[in-house]
Copies of this chain bind each other. A is one copy, B any other.
Amino acid sequence: MEIISENKCFGGVQGVYKHASSATQCDMTFAVFMPPQAAQNPVPVLWYLSGLTCTHENAMIKAFAQGFAAEHGLALVFPDTSPRGDDIANHDDYDLGQGAGFYVNATQKPWAPHFQMWDYVTDELPTLVATEFNVRADANGITGHSMGGHGALTIAMTLPDRYQSLSAFAPIANPTASDWGRKQFSAYLGDDETTWVAHDASILMREHGFHSPILIDQGLGDNFLDLLKPQSLNDAMAARGQAGEYRMQDGYDHSYYFVQSFMQDHIKHHAALLT
């Protein structure tokens, strides 16, 4: 693991790192915030998965999470959203290919050799982080924004023993019924829609739910409500009897101005379950 940068931040360290990934078969960049408490004891980890077009950097800069993570003694990890490189498959559309990994393991050409983001985020990177940083491997929360909210929800509901807390900001909530989902699953997973089901939060919610209360915020001024489909997941939560809140926030859009406005609530939510 190579250190790209480390800066003191809220008494802890905000770092950016690079490593050769075996899952994605390319160099991957990620960011970690370690709170001051980690100087004494291992700390829980909150995983933040980003949305379409983002790198490790967007939330690190714009989500305003570090101060609250320092207050509550949580590490933050910001993975990239896809493999990247000139020799890696890509697409002209912003919502397919590099920057748009959708947190699945691709099985189809030309994506399969590198687009293994499920394995990267749930297996390879956690192992690396647990080795390189003073974190508790047994205390993980997960959250994310938009495509990253989709990732957080589907990962946590599929691996409930690994994640003790779950939240999301404006998640893509029913991708098998949305152009933010059908297009990508078709490309990455192929035309057999039965393989898509494992990556749809609304379906997973009806089948499994999550063992702890979840927190989801969604702006009502979001331009992408038709693609995100919050009502589908909200209905599934009601049908399941899932503990938690799907908060519809008046006037907020899809930007990081929305995410940062509610970050403190999410950090508190995770800290209560992780510490």
Contacts and interface: CB of A to CB of B under 8 A. Distances in A.
Given A62-B61, A64-B64, A64-B67, A8 B260 contact: no
Contacts of A246: none
Interface stretch (A121-129, A185-193, A208-216, A248-256): A248-256
A154 interface: no
Main secondary structure on chain A at its contact with chain B?
mixed
Interface of A: 7-11, 14, 61-62, 64, 66-67, 219, 221, 251-253, 255, 257-258, 260-261, 264
A260 B7 contact: no
A260 B69 CA distance: 13
B64 A8 contact: no
B14 A257 contact: yes
Contact of A257 (B8, B221, B252, B260): B8
Contacts of A258: 7-9
A11 B260 CA distance: 11
Given A8-B261, A10-B260, A61-B62, 5 more contacts: A8-B257, A10-B261, A11-B261, A66-B260, A67-B264
